[in-house]
Amino acid sequence: MVNIKDVPPDMLIKRLAAYLRDNVQQMKPAPWSLYAKTGARKDSPPQDPNWWYVRAASLLRKIYLNDPVGVERLRMAYSYRAPVGKKARAPRTRKSAGASIRGILHQLEQAGLVTKVPGKGRTLTPQGRSLLDRTAAQIAKELVKTKPELAKYIAPRQE
């Protein structure tokens, strides 16, 4: 059975973002998201008008891989290392913006794809896990059509 570890992350995130934008009515960018930066090091807001959906798809993937995960760990996952200067000191880490992550997680909870586990963080619901697995299977089928040599890795085993 194909899961999200078997397909390229960029293809999965693009496909999930398109699905969330077109089919999940609870997913709407916050009004302030047009003007907000996604982190401390950014100079301007994202140029992609669909960045809210791309970040939501990326969050779904990260929750799938690191189940359960909290907002602080997700902020660290999207963080960056700030340079300190020319000296050989350890770089400082700056966390990503938390409001966008919390807003997206709240919308994913309303859509029934993510649920909150008290004291541990967020985890995928069976509906969310199914969505990711189905999307990965569709991508795997397309990859086999373009590169037939991948069929032996993706095709189900017959014993």
What pLDDT is attached to residue 34? 76
Q: Residue 159: pLDDT above 60?
A: no
Give pLDDT tens digits for 42-81. 667 777 788 889 999 999 999 999 888 998 888 888 787 7
Distance from C-alpha of 4 to C-alpha of 129, rounded to nearest angstrom: 10
pTM of the entire predicted model: 0.84
Question: 30, 103 in Cβ contact below 8 A?
Answer: yes
Q: Three-class SS of residue 87?
A: coil
Rounded distance between C-alpha atoms, residue 157 and residue 120, angstroms: 36
Query: Average pLDDT, stretch 2-25?
Result: 90
CATH code: domain 4-147 is 1.10.10.10
Kindly indicate the confidence band of residue 92, based on its pLDDT and cuts at 50, 70 and 90: confident
Residue 135 amino acid letter = T
Q: What is the mean pLDDT of the chain?
A: 84
Q: What percent of the chain has pLDDT over 90?
A: 36
